[in-house]
Amino acid sequence: MPTKQEVQVQQKRELESKDESTIPARVFLPTADIYESNDALNVVLEMPGVDKNSVDIRVEDSVLKIEGRLDFSKYQGLQPLYTEYNVGHYSRSFRLSSKIDQNKIAAELNDGVLSLVLPKVEEAKPRTIEVK
Amino acid sequence: MLQGPIVLRPASTLPWGAAMITFADPFDALLSLQRDLESRFASDWLEGTTTSRGPFPPINVFQQGEDILALMELPGIDKNELQIQAKANTIRVSGKKRVDYSNDVSVHRRERVSGDFDRTLSLPVQVDPDRIKAEYRDGLLALFLPRADSDKPRSIKIK
């Protein structure tokens, strides 16, 4: 009988930024999956604790930057007894190639998972060539 | 005299003799969590029980007054596949984390983990299983564990 595959624990990676932050909260990299279909590039990020109003997605100079902010007011008055994972904001940037149509990027956030669809420009879509 | 921009720092880092303006630091709770995380290897809480520190999902346990609040990061879980079982002083969270993409895509990067998980957490205090509340929102599972009345300390009057 095959054994069930158990999920492995990942420690959060901290963001290494050239700029210093003005607030004491730490920023971590959300885990990302990137996959490509014929029409688009898809980026899926895990940002638990972030809701739709706290996520900021922008494209500047062909750099896609995703930021998710946590609401720390929930943690007021809580005394930590036993901690295993770190808590902080999320931020990750990706450089986009010219094959992406930057105006048509779509995003959806469900249960802390942000799915971005980056459609390819027409010329970049694969074309099948028939042999006569 | 404070010179330059006003900086939010805990009073203990200000030089002796400086004028101390104390602000309500909104990140106090968070910073104390991080300090606690860094020192957790020195802690013997939960030592010698069935819980191990490795398995998924990682849990943060907080005390809220007399009660306990356990938080777990479980993004992208289907609530129907999540099971929470509670006994007097153990909590068991099990389920399946799915990461599925359709077959005709080419994967460039894969960092998300997926699979079955089953984790039991032992608590040092007795909780009331009937009043336990669980909330799953935005990928965060919050378990509110109220302390059992039988476990609360009772003050005894001296005659």
A53 CB within 8 Å of a chain B CB: no
Rounded to the nearest angstrom, the minimum Cα separation between A116 and chain B is 13
Q: Which of A1, A10, A27, A81 to mutate to test the interface with B (most CBs of B within 10 A)?
A: A81
Q: What is the pLDDT of residue B54?
A: 45
Q: Are A80 and B36 in contact (CB under 8 A)?
A: yes
List b or e across A108-119, with b for residues whose CB sees 16 or more CB atoms inside 10 angstroms: ebebbbbebbbb
Q: pLDDT: is B46 or A64 the higher one? A: A64
Tokens describing residue A69: 């902010």
Interface with A, mutate which of B66, B112, B136, B145 (most A CBs under 10 A): B112
Tens of pLDDT, residue by residue over B17-76, are: 455 555 556 677 777 777 767 665 544 454 434 443 447 888 899 998 888 899 999 999
Q: Which of B156, B111, B54 is nearest to A113 (CA)?
A: B111
Q: Is B55 on the interface with A (CB under 8 A)?
A: yes
Tokens of A46: 């895990």
Cα(A124)–Cα(A101) distance, integer angstroms: 10
DSSP state of B120: E
Query: Which whole number is the average pLDDT over B87-112?
Result: 86
**What is the spatial distance between Cα B72 and Cα B84, in angstroms, rounded to a whole number?**
12
Number of H helices, E strands in chain A: 0, 10
Torsional class of B135: left (φ above 0), alpha (ψ -120 to 50), beta (otherwise): beta
- pLDDT of amino acid B11: 52
Is the confidence at residue B92, as pLDDT, over 50? Answer: yes
Query: Domain spans of chain A?
Result: 27-124
Residue B6 has pLDDT above 60, yes or no: no
Helices (H) and strands (E) counted in chain B, each on its own, are: 1, 8
Q: Find chain A residues with C-beta within 8 A of B64's C-beta.
A: 77-79
Show which of residues 116-155 on chain B sit within 8 Å of chain A, judged by CB atoms.
Answer: 116-118, 136-140
How confident is the prediction for chain A on average, in pLDDT? Answer: 87
B97 touches chain A (CB under 8 A): yes
CB–CB contact A82 B61 (8 Å):
yes
- Note the pLDDT of residue B47: 44
Closest CA to A23 of A82, A67, A85: A67
Q: Mean of the pLDDT values across residues B123-133?
A: 84
Q: Which tokens is A65 given?
A: 């930057």
Nearest CA in chain A to B98: A7
At residue B5, what is the residue type? P
Could you tell me the two tokens for A79?
A: 């005394």
Cα–Cα distance, B94 to B97 (Å, whole number): 10
Alpha-carbon gap, residue A62 to A131, rounded angstroms: 37
B89: closest CA of chain A, how far (Å): 15
Give the pLDDT of residue B26. Answer: 65
Residue (of A68, A78, A28) closest to B142 by Cα position: A78
* Helix, strand, coil in percent for chain A, rounding step 5: 10, 45, 45
* Nearest Cα residue to B72 out of B34, B111, B119, B25: B119
Rounded CA gap, A84 and A9, in Å? 10
Statement: the pTM of the whole predicted model exceeds 0.80 = no
**Type of residue numbered A35:** Y
Q: Please give the helix or strand (H or E) that residue B81 lies within, else none.
A: none
* Reported ipTM: 0.81
* CATH number corresponding to A27-124: 2.60.40.790
Average pLDDT, chain B: 76
State which amino acid sits at residue A5. Q
Structural domains in chain B, sorted by start? 11-100+115-151 (2.60.40.790)
Question: How far is the C-alpha of A14 from the C-alpha of A28, rounded, in Å?
Answer: 4
Torsion of CA B112, A14, B59, A73, to 10 degrees: -120
- The verdict on A7 touching B (C-beta cutoff 8 Å) is yes
Contact A8, B56 (CB under 8 A): yes
Q: Which residues of B touch A75 (CB under 8 A)?
A: 29-30, 33, 62
The SS3 call for residue A106 is strand
Structure tokens at B78: 């289907």
Pairwise CB contact (< 8 Å): B63 & A88: no
